[in-house]
Structure 1
Amino acid sequence: MRNIIYGINLTADGCCDHTKGNGTADIHEYFTDLMRDVDLIVYGRITYQLMVPYWPDVAKSQSGTKTENEFAQTFNAIDKIVFSKSLHSVEGNTRIIRDNLAEEVLKLKQQPGKKISIGGVSLPSQLVALGLVDEFYIVVHPVIVGQGRRLFDDINLVERLNLKLVESKVLKSGSVALHYIKE
């Protein structure tokens, strides 16, 4: 069965607002390397609209830094699914699924392939609560912002989820990349 991995950037005080962290080259390199083992990305509407068309446009125009361009190309090449009841259309290699989150994600896990990456906050929180996330890649940025959305604010777990740290890495920027697996 395929693993579902969740990658997220957090500030040191737990904020997961994408505008609050440090978008340094080493962060883009880290997530580009992570995506090399992925052949499907799953998002909710909000995260999808944050990522697309921004990264596909960077991939086409090569308008970013070297590491941003590499991330954009890697991201753009991966098939995507967006769970949304309100989105009417998607771009490129993306398809929409409207209902049955748990059932549909279980079907995806059972298909052959590489890892499945999820991103954002709401959809991953739902999948964590359902017990469907296998690995967590949390990058903690060395900044305290004091405000903003916190990771898992809306999660309602039936029982505690224990994680095992399998790797930690200090990046050049001072960010710390933590890789956990579900116990």
Structure 2
Amino acid sequence: MKKLVFGINLTIDGCCDHTKGTGDEEIHEYFANLIREADVLVYGRKTYELMVPFWPDIAKDLSGPTKSINDFALAFDAVDKIVVFSHTLDKVENPKVEVVNTDLKEEIIKLKQGEGKDILLGGVDLPSQLVALDLIDEYRIVIQPYIVGEGRRLFDDVNLLEKLKLELVESKQLKSGAIALHYVKNPRS
């Protein structure tokens, strides 16, 4: 069974607004490696529209300002399939993209039952819904060494029936002072 892995970049104060933090060579490399471990990317419409066509366009001509950005773009573009959950996006022209507007839980369970590499989840709204549905298996969170004091916070809108216990299986300090944390969901007793 495939794992659903949520990856995100945050500031120390929990801000997940991509315009507030900063990415560097090592962070792009970290997330490129994470994408290489997946064969399906799952996004909501907003995150999808931030990622596409931006990263595929960079991958076409390697127009990023750094090697790590170009490597990230190539890793992103090499993924087999992108699933976009949306009630407002009808369809897209890219044959690798599937737009889904049916039951979220049912569709994620179907994806997890498939063969292959992991499923990588990004964004904020969709992951919040999947946390509440208890469908995320792993969390890859990079904490940036910044306090921005404003902006959207991760999991602000999550409503859990009970506390979700995670187990830290790895932590890595990056040269920038960012910390990459890898958590797995503890099985419930």
Are 2:155 and 1:146 equivalent residues in the alignment?
no
Q: TM-score, normalised by structure 2?
A: 0.95
Partner of 2:68: 67
Cα distance between partner residues in 1 of 2:55 and 2:48 = 10
Q: CA deviation at 1:77?
A: 1.3
SS in 2 for 1:71: helix
Unaligned segments of structure 2, at least 5 residues: none
SS in 1 for 2:146: coil
Q: CA deviation at 1:172?
A: 1.2
Q: CA deviation at 1:23?
A: 1.2
Unaligned segments of structure 1, at least 5 residues: none
- Identify the match of residue 121 of structure 1 among 102, 121, 124: 124
Are 2:188 and 1:176 equivalent residues in the alignment?
no
Cα distance between partner residues in 2 of 1:46 and 1:23 = 20
Q: Deviations over 1:27-65 (max 9, x none)?
A: 000011111210000000000001001001110121111
Q: CA deviation at 1:88?
A: 2.8
Q: Deviations over 1:78-118 (max 9, x none)?
A: 11000011113324311101110000110110011110000
Q: TM-score, normalised by structure 1?
A: 0.98
Which residue identity is paired with 2:63? S
Partner of 1:25: 25
Cα distance between partner residues in 2 of 1:81 and 1:175 = 29
Partner of 1:88: 90
Aligned residues: 183
- Identify the match of residue 112 of structure 2 among 103, 109, 116: 109
Q: 1:180 to 1:8 in 2, by over 3 A?
A: same
Cα distance between partner residues in 1 of 2:138 and 2:110 = 18
Cα distance between partner residues in 2 of 1:174 and 1:90 = 39
Q: Deviations over 1:104-163 (max 9, x none)?
A: 110110011110000000000111110100000000000100000000001001111000
- Identify the match of residue 161 of structure 2 among 140, 154, 158: 158
Identity among equivalent positions (%) equals: 60
Which residue identity is paired with 2:73? A
